[in-house]
Amino acid sequence: MLHELKTFCAIVATACLLTPRVGFAAPDWENEQVLQRNRLPARATFWPLGDQEHASDREHSPWVLSLSGKWRFHWSPTPETASAEFSQASFDPGDWATLPVPSNWQLHGYGTPIYKSSGYTFRIDPPRVSSTPPKDWTTYAERNPVGCYLREFTLPAEWKSRRVFLHFAGVEGAFEVWINGRAAGYSQGSRSPAEFEVTPLVTGGVNRIAVRVYRYSDGTYLEDQDMWRLSGIHREVVLYSTPQLRIADFAVRTDLDASYRDAQLQVDVKLDAPAEASVEGYTLSAQLFDPAGKPVFASPLVHAASPILNREYRADLLVERTPQRGVGPFGWLNAKVENPAKWTAETPSLYRLVLSLADAGRRVRETVACDVGFRRIETRGGRLLINGAPLRLRGVNRHEHDPCTGHAMTYEQMERDVLMMKRANVNAVRTAHYPNDPRWYALCNRYGVYVLDEADLETHGLRGRLANDPRWAPAFLDRVVRLVERDRNEPCVIGWSLGNESGWGPNLAACAAWAKAADPTRLIHYEGAQGDSDPREVDLISRFYPRLRAEYLNPDLPVDPAAEDRPENARWQRLLDLAENQPGDRPIITSEYAHAMGNAVGNLTEYWQEIESHPRLAGGFIWDWADQALLVRRNGQTTFGYGGAFGDNPNHGAFCLNGLLMADRTLSAKYFEVQRVYQPVALELAGEEQSVATLKVSNKRHVLDLSDLEIAWRSDAPSGLTREGVGPGLSAKPGESETIQLTLPHRELGEEAWLRVACRLKHSHAWADKGHEIAVAQWRLQAAPGKRPPREAGTHPELTIAENTHDIVVDSANVRAVFNRGSAALTELRLAGYDVLAASEQASPHLQVFRAPTSNDRGFGNWLADAWADAGLEQVGLSPLGCTVERLSPSSAKVTTIVAGEARQGSMTCRCQWILHSNGIIELTSRFNPHGKLPPLARVGVVMQLKERLQRVEWFGRGPHENYPDRKQSADVGRWSTLVSQSATPYPRPQETGSRQDVRWLALRDDAGRGMLIVAPHSPITFSAIPYTAEDLAGAKNWWEVKPRRAVVLSLDAAQCGLGNSSCGPGVLKKYAVLPEPREFRLLLAPVEDTEDAGKIAARLLGELSGD
């Protein structure tokens, strides 16, 4: 059956080979017709094992020999300068260096890493890659670098009289291989395995292997993915040995019946043997072991080997397997399995299939095995289904990338990724944009992650040109065939993605037809970016970066003067419009959305509100998992570098920094936001009455009920009072809801409180410990009936006021404030004898309407960042309009300052009223009024610089991680603390960072506990306390360039703009914009001492001062 499934590919390839070529013979690596020499057909991932008892342990198999490790290595900038003799058995490598395999040679000092989002690093001239590029390009000097690899190995004595095969799991570039000086083969396709039989080339004892890797080949035209362009043997190299008759390949299907209860296990097997080998009496057997390791069948399934091998091409077998009409049986081995445990991402139940070949004497000659998952993926009525249950993909795109090792990933690195995904409620991953290391699929099988498996095929820089060129059809098909053949037995794989951003044409249509015929059990996906958006050959409607059915900020602003028809947001289709208006009933996914570049991932909550509102919307994949940064040394420190950091040209700069995580997998606020929005349980406060909270709990899982979870709750108040408890048991089935009640303790009169409820695991799982929270929600409870405690009686010392032509000085034992008349600014502030402001010209509190542009602010068209620059908002010129003082009582005074801010487009005024009390309390009211034609603003607030020693920050508001108006779902309101030195996120491309929203109070203290308390008596505020100004961050291109100030830069905002998604996608929703309109916010400032609790002081201040 497997042979016949390839017929379509062979026909197309043969037709293309008949197309005449004109000119001199090209080398294999510049000939799109030559994809391989002597490479064996692609096969599923399995290895010859020792015996059935060790059928899951490749590491201890006597028939597998790893060649990973240290190899001798030599690098040349061009093929012409590479050694021509190194492949000879007698070649002496002399002083050649050693290089680890797997690795990318650029990360070991050879050649230049190049980052490109799309487009080629060499002159476009397909299939040639060595044409002369511009002189300033990296490839002008490094035209087509070549790496020559050498190592020796000793063939085990037990392998005598057996067959030997050489396996490359992945080589980035085209390569040739020799064994003992004799050619073994050639292959291209960087992320699919290449195997060669080397039986006639190896000898007993010591052997030598030589590999020549070309950085570029005609195949590179099909590998134009958004990633670092690196080279070398980046996955494992393995030798393995088999008997003369071997299991060359096998395919497994697990067809569930109409009720999704029972299954039919079908196993198709391909056997292979030399013509002279005797197979008489050989049998093939299969046994299935359940998740507990117990055999499923009373006796193994057995079939004679000879009919499977079918050397004689017996007519009866040919008719049975390939009838003249209809479809023949799929498997040689078939059996019914009654009600097997089903595999899903929520219930990753794995069986183990063990296949054995035995000779006529019943001696087992070969054993192989694979994991099996019983599941069915399908679409029906516009819905995506897993085992009949509606499925939504809460997914991410993931590149194989590590900042130290590049594209060479270890098992530990991969396992770390999959565990972090599971803990973030991610249930699906798209292997952007190529087949991943086979071990990745084993991990997804084990832990439970759906995989959209993508072919190593992208021609972004040529759009759809090659998809429509019949000479390239074999190359297109080769990549999809190798994808499907390798991964068709992986339970986690739910669909085949034909590639990425390569337009559409008959070559891709042929790929889709082949994949569907070869494996009708999975879905076909493709997002071409150009050409036909929804070809009939695919099963899923896919879109990049859709927008919501909501009002966006400046939706019609052109990207550039030459693109009037491509407005900033209108270029992106609306998600719900697709769901409601797209013809047919194919499910709709967004294969890339929520572009996570820099400080990003705005309005993810709104995305999922829309996705969950329509049955056709089956979820999507965030772009992407982790930043693709590489480590560099700058100014004596190791830091993250992006495009251009290595002198690479051309490059696409920081566009590789799109991850939910830093490149080293440091967690970010973006990760926590995804964890919260992707949670599979919805919690809603349905009612609140006295001390009882009623919750609606909705199960958004696809398979499991909620009985494995428990409810835990906590109540937090600004005063610092915290209470907690547990709730009743849960039982809601998938898609259903239940109502529970929580009994809450008594609260103080007039006290605000926040109720946090979490659903956490009752028991440990393979991916998380007991108590791990998979769903959380929080609500502000109604204030307890009653009034705040009355104002404390007492007398306050007298306040003195001194005035001259330069300054106004307001002084007492507990407060001293100096206002400069020339600048209308507070230039000195002492609370309880403690100097607060830094000794800097910029220390005075002053109006701030600018932030360091985020990657989204710079976005496609840079319209927000450009609008701020055009308006001159980076440095607003402040002019004093007034500075006056008025005594209100013997113990209080009011100072009013008015400044005008002049921008190139429009202006603004800021009026600050400072009421100073002799007990140290200051009431600040700030009023902002815009004038003229100002653009939407980054923020409205005041900024000041405090003494450097005020490093300890504590607040009651959203935290602990940074948060913004459209990315704060995961930041709970509570009492949090950190250090100023740790408050900023070190984005490799510096930008706005450190904001905390919905803050009731904050305190900044020194190590002795002294400092300043700030309270928002009416509306909560936003703050950041970091050692950098907005100008510091905006003026730097790399984090290592940013030098921390000897001060605390404190920003207090009435409002700050949302983040949006416009680094590649739609921008900020209008409801999260800061429009230029009048605003006011009020603050209380007070001293705080070492023994005082900031929350209690804040509560007392709110009782003493109503804010009137």
3-class secondary structure per residue, 528-594: CCCCCCCCCCCCCEEEECCECCCCECCCCCECCCCCCCCECCCCCCEHHHHHHHCCCCCCEEEEEEC
- What mean pLDDT comes out for the span 729-735? 97
Q: What is the structure's pLDDT at 910? A: 97
CA gap 639, 629 in Å, rounded:
9
Residue 746: CB atoms within 10 A of its CB come to 10
Is residue 298 scored above 60 in pLDDT? yes
**Alpha-helical runs (H) found in 796-910:** 855-858, 863-871
- What mean pLDDT comes out for the span 651-657? 97
Amino acid identity, residue 548? L
| Mean pLDDT score of the chain | 93
Instruction: Spot the catalytic one: 172, 176, 592, 610.
Output: 592
Residue 108, SS3? helix
Q: Which of 81-90, 279-288, 860-869 has the lowest mean pLDDT?
A: 860-869
Q: What is the structure's pLDDT at 9? A: 46
> What residues form DSSP beta bridges with 284?
303, 357
Percent share of the chain, pLDDT over 70: 93
Beta strand ranges found along 387-481 (DSSP E) = 389-390, 393-397, 428-430, 450-454
Sequence-distant (6+) residues with CB within 8 A of 407 are 104, 172, 227, 228, 230, 234, 400, 401
Is residue 791 scored above 80 in pLDDT? no
Distances (CA, A) of 44 to 190, 214, 482, 486, 675: 17, 26, 9, 4, 34
State yes or no: cis peptide before 102, omega within 30 of 0: yes
DSSP one-letter string for 590-658: EEEES---SS--TTHHHHHHHHTT-TTEEEEEES-SB---EEEEETTEEEEE-TTTT--SS--GGGG--
Q: What is the structure's pLDDT at 566? A: 44
Backbone dihedral region of 671: left (phi > 0), alpha (psi from -120 to 50 degrees) or beta?
alpha
- Report pLDDT digits (tens) over 354-380: 999 999 999 999 999 999 999 999 999
3-state secondary structure 948-1011: CCCCEEEEEEEECCCCECCECCCCEEEEEEEEHHHCCCCCCCCCCCCCEEEECEEEEECCCCCE
Q: What is the structure's pLDDT at 1056? A: 98
Q: Which domains does the chain have, with CATH numbers?
A: 31-242 (2.60.120.260), 251-281+283-359 (2.60.40), 378-676 (3.20.20.80), 680-781 (2.60.40.10), 800-1104 (2.70.98.10)
CA gap 249, 278 in Å, rounded:
19
Is residue 525 scored above 70 in pLDDT? yes
CA gap 859, 263 in Å, rounded:
50
pTM of structure? 0.95
CA gap 770, 365 in Å, rounded:
45
Whether 501 sits among the annotated catalytic residues: the reply is: yes
Q: Which residue has the higher pLDDT, 711 or 789?
A: 711
Distances (CA, A) of 681 to 413, 604, 618, 660: 29, 16, 17, 22
pLDDT band at 787 (very low <50, low <70, confident <90, very high): low
pLDDT band at 6 (very low <50, low <70, confident <90, very high): very low
Q: What is the structure's pLDDT at 11? A: 41
- What mean pLDDT comes out for the span 906-913? 96
Is residue 789 scored above 60 in pLDDT? no
Residue with tokens 């498997």, as numbered in its chain:
331
Q: What is the structure's pLDDT at 13? A: 45
DSSP one-letter string for 886-925: EEEETTEEEEEEEEEEE-SS-EEEEEEEEEEETTS-EEEE
Is residue 747 scored above 90 in pLDDT? no
Per residue in 876-907, is it b (16+ CB within 10 Å) or e — as a string?
Answer: bebeeeebebeeeeebbbbbbbbbbbebeebb
- What mean pLDDT comes out for the span 74-89? 97
Instruction: Spot the catalytic one: 501, 527, 610, 673.
Output: 501
Q: What is the structure's pLDDT at 702? A: 97
pLDDT band at 58 (very low <50, low <70, confident <90, very high): confident
- What mean pLDDT comes out for the span 298-318? 85
- Report pLDDT digits (tens) over 437-493: 999 999 999 999 999 999 999 999 999 999 999 999 999 999 999 999 999 999 999
- What mean pLDDT comes out for the span 678-686? 98
Q: What is the structure's pLDDT at 993? A: 99
CA gap 816, 545 in Å, rounded:
54
Is residue 1105 scored above 80 in pLDDT? no
Sequence-distant (6+) residues with CB within 8 A of 804 are none
Q: What is the structure's pLDDT at 50? A: 86
- What mean pLDDT comes out for the span 560-587? 75
Q: What is the structure's pLDDT at 3? A: 43
Residues 1038, 944: contact at Cβ < 8 Å? no
Is residue 1061 scored above 50 in pLDDT? yes
Q: What is the structure's pLDDT at 558? A: 53
Q: Are strands 907-917 and 892-902 parallel, antiparallel or unpaired?
A: antiparallel
Is residue 891 scored above 50 in pLDDT? yes
Q: Which of 642, 679, 647 is nearest to 662 (CA)?
A: 642
What spatial distance separates the first Cα and last Cα of the chain, rounded to whole Å? Answer: 83
Residue count of the chain: 1108
Q: Which of 970, 449, 425, 971 is nearest to 700 (CA)?
A: 425
